[in-house]
């Protein structure tokens, strides 16, 4: 069923909270570690003190781990869909990824295949963020608690691994934010109240909308009403 004749339900509230808590944690973890990497950010130590930043880093690390654990109860459907989507990467996603970059420079590429709930780029973002989350958590936990538990030569490797994953995750999230806020601003509504405009959904996730019609979740008549020229 369409919401207010114009919107389609996309994300559950629990998944929206999960997303934003994860985003805040990620950036706070990044920010509180920055002075360790570049003197330009030493002013953060001067402002807050090194100990406060270290404690804040650990606080957000705990939240970063607990958030998806709580999400298993409050956002099970969204988490399950993310995991299942990662393994659905197929030829259509490749065609999408080849043609899509033109959209970034304001063109409308021909022949993009209808996309499912998540498109090829989103699937890549999901895979990247899941992998960096796991690697950050494991390497971070070993840096925090590993003294005496594992060999110091192995523990020393956790620093470059942790840093590399933070860098890759950050680069990915900058691309993701650009695509959400600049290239597809209509998508952001889905991460506010969980709904997106049905004409946007139909243009960007046509296969998902077709499925919803087939499953009787949207009436073809209501859809035609919104999409009529
Ligand atoms: C200002 C910051 C951010 C904005 C505006 C934003 C926006 C969005 C939007 C609109 C969606 C839903 C896309 C859809 O329904 O198809 C989404 C999904 C997602 N976001 Fe974010 N996001 C932000 C930060 C982050 C950060 C920091 C991370 C990870 C560290 C992240 C990870 C994800 C993932 C994995 C998904 C699901 C797949 C995808 O759409 O790529 N987001 N985000």
- Structural domain including 161 reads 2-227
Q: How far apart are CA 155 and CA 144, in angstroms?
A: 10
Class of residue 51 by CB neighbours under 10 A (exposed 0-12, middle 13-18, buried 19+): exposed
Q: Where are the alpha helices (DSSP H) in 34-151?
A: 43-48, 50-74, 76-86, 91-99, 101-104, 120-145
pLDDT in tens, 152-169: 999 999 999 999 999 999
Question: pLDDT band at 1, cuts 50/70/90?
Answer: confident
**Domain holding 114: CATH number?**
1.20.950.20
Residue nearest to atom 27 of ligand 1 (CA): 23
- pLDDT (tens digit per residue) in 2-18: 888 899 999 999 999 99
Model confidence pTM above 0.85:
yes
Residues 6+ apart with CB under 8 A from 127: 86, 89
**Cβ contact 161:135 at 8 Å:** yes
The total of structural domains in the chain comes to 1
Which ligand 1 atom is at minimum distance from the Cα of 119? Answer: 16
201 CA → ligand 1 middle, Å: 16
Q: Categorize the per-residue pLDDT at 106 as very low, low, confident or very high, splitting at 50, 70 and 90.
A: low
Q: What is the mean pLDDT of residues 185-210?
A: 95
Nearest-atom index, ligand 1, CA of 23: 27
Cβ pair 10, 201 in contact under 8 A: yes
- Residues near ligand 1 (Cβ within 6 A): 10, 19, 22-23, 26, 118, 122, 125-126, 129, 169, 173, 176-177, 180-181, 187-188, 190-191
Pocket test of ligand 1: the residue of 19, 97, 137 to mutate, having most ligand atoms within 8 Å of its CB, is: 19
């Amino acid at each position: 069923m369409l919401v207010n004749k114009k919107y389609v339900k996309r994300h559950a509230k629990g998944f929206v909270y999960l997303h934003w808590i994860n985003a805040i944690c990620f950036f706070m973890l990044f920010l509180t570690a920055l002075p360790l990497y570049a003197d330009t950010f030493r002013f953060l130590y001067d402002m807050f003190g090194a100990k406060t930043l270290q404690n804040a880093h650990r606080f957000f690390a705990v939240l970063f781990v607990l958030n998806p654990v709580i999400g298993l109860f409050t956002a099970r459907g969204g988490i399950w869909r993310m995991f299942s989507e990662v393994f659905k990467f197929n030829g259509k996603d490749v065609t999408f990824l080849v043609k899509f970059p033109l959209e970034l420079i304001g063109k409308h590429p021909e022949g993009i295949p209808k996309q499912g709930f998540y498109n090829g780029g989103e699937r890549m973002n999901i895979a990247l963020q899941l992998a960096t989350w796991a690697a950050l958590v494991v390497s971070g936990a070993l840096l925090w608690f590993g003294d005496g538990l594992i060999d110091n030569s192995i523990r020393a490797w956790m620093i470059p691994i942790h840093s590399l994953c933070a860098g890759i995750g950050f680069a990915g999230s900058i691309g993701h934010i650009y695509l959400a806020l600049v290239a597809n601003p209509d998508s952001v509504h889905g991460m506010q109240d969980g709904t997106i405009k049905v004409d946007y959904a139909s243009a960007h996730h046509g296969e998902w909308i077709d499925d919803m019609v087939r499953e009787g979740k949207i009436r073809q008549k209501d859809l035609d009403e919104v999409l009529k020229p």
